[in-house]
Amino acid sequence: MRRRRAILACSITVAWLLPAAGCGPRPSRQPNLILLLIDTLRADHLGAYGFPADVSPNLDRLAAESLVFESCFAQAPWTPPSIATLFTSLHLEVHGLNRFADHRFADPGGGAPRVAVLPESASTLAESLRAAGYTTAGFVGNPWLDRTLGLAQGFDVYEDRDLSNRVPATLLLLAARDWLHTRPSGAPFFLYLHLMDVHEPYDAPQEDFDALWPALEAPAGRVLGQAELPPDAMDPPGLRPADDRRNRLDYWRTRYAAGVRALDRRLGTFLDELRESGLLDRSYLVLTSDHGEELFEHAGWGHGESLHEHQLRVPLLVRPPSGVGGGRLVREPAGLVDLMPTLLSVLEVDAPPALQGTDRSAVFSEGGGEARPSVFFSTAVVDRPGLHALRSPRFKLIVDLETDEVALYDVVADPGEHENLAAAESETVAELRALLSAHLAATAGAATPERRDAEVPPEVLERLRGLGYLD
């Protein structure tokens, strides 16, 4: 009823996002920023990135109006360290959310579970925008983003409490709509939505599964050693076994793709409302993910367990105001660490010192900028703190500094990372290890001095348990 009264009072004519004159916020000359983050979304499961089935017509339409970054890499394969890097443009070794004992809640003293949280001295994207006059709001559906864990810095509104284990996009989008209508007038805004519909337990409506099955067969490519594994290994841990009459691998991969299809439909309505209200054309809209998902390519499920491409390569779409300059493929690679300096640059907002990402705003110019050789670093595998990856334009080096295990993949010739070339390409391994060593030395010198942790609230523990993070 509260929303209905607001609609009547303000005579909203377009999806109650565009207030009538004198009732609600007025347009700002400064572009707004809308960040849609779809948790666990692989880049290769959108049509804009070549997915073979019709799962994302609305996001593909958005891509046609956007700069589509061909290659974007997360700096961690699970949420807290990845989001911390996205929001601070600091590597994990610097902001400190790569501490694994804390993630597993190990407490030698037997006290309450604790987890590493973002240092207060780390400047966030939201803080920079708020200092520049932006109104900031976040609506998140992932319990790892509970405000007590440190990632709410800089938000005027941060809705993360009294929510179920996995908040559906419909509820978060409704809350965002309400906020868009009631936000303070005259100021530009930063809206962050963190949506969980693609995440386990892969429970999209049956209609979305049926629309893809059985035409969608093994969409994620071949699997190493599949013939040597027992059939029940092809069911994600903690989820019910697949119907034995179906190929289990195809079944669960289709379940994941159905989640993309269902969320695309829900987002389509929201994007249409933004278009019709005029807000979309007055905003930069960014769509990305915090990490991908393994769909049994290397005999495993989920995320946080390896540094292969399927867990690190994420979509990145950036739609400029009015779509001007959109509809282009950006071949210059990027990392989530680059988002903060790039977005602050295009919004003409001063960036805090010591950001570690690269400002890639040159790609927004008419000429599109020039591709620059880049390397990207990733780490924070949940149970292997010594595991690091370096991604160059051609090669991926994965090395465990604790066990000295090394893998090298030619990701151009072998995008599925099936053939380990470490023995045959020893010189390349040495060169990339030297770059990794230099990176680790530099980040150690820049590490935030104060390390913080916080007790995990019991309700957050329950929500994490509901998502399969805890036994």
Least confident residue range of 238-242, 381-385, 438-442: 238-242
Cβ(169)–Cβ(117) under 8 Å? Answer: no
| DSSP-assigned beta bridge partners for residue 283 | 32
Residue at 391 is within a domain: no
Both tokens of 210, joined, read: 């049926």
Residue at 67 is within a domain: yes
How far apart CA 35 and CA 342 sit, in angstroms, is: 13
Which pLDDT tens digit goes with each residue over 207-217?
999 999 887 75
Residue with structure tokens 């949280």? 117
Which pLDDT tens digit goes with each residue over 89-110?
999 999 988 765 444 444 445 5
User: What is the per-residue pLDDT for 383?
Assistant: 84
If DSSP codes are grouped into helix, strand and coil, which group holds residue 303?
A: coil
Both tokens of 412, joined, read: 């151009």
On the question of a cis peptide bond just before residue 201, with omega within 30 degrees of 0, the verdict is yes
Mean pLDDT, residues 188-195 taken together: 97
User: What is the per-residue pLDDT for 426?
Assistant: 97
Residue at 431 is within a domain: no
Which pLDDT tens digit goes with each residue over 312-339?
999 999 999 999 989 999 999 999 999 9
Q: What is the 8-class DSSP label of residue 19?
A: P
Greater confidence (125 vs 250) lies with 125
Q: Could you give the number of structural domains in the chain?
A: 1
Residue at 153 is within a domain: yes
Tell me what percent of the residues of the chain surpass a pLDDT of 70: 83
Residue at 380 is within a domain: no
Mean pLDDT, residues 133-154 taken together: 91
| Domain containing residue 258 | 2-374
Tell me the CATH number at 180: 3.40.720.10
Our measurement of the distance from residue 396's CA atom to the centroid of its chain's CA atoms, rounded to an integer in Å, reads 21
Residue at 456 is within a domain: no
Residue at 82 is within a domain: yes
Q: Does the pLDDT at position 174 exceed 50? A: yes
User: What is the per-residue pLDDT for 162?
Assistant: 54
Phi, psi of 190 (to 5 degrees): -120, 115
Residue at 78 is within a domain: yes
Tell me the pLDDT band of 346, cut-offs 50, 70 and 90.
very high
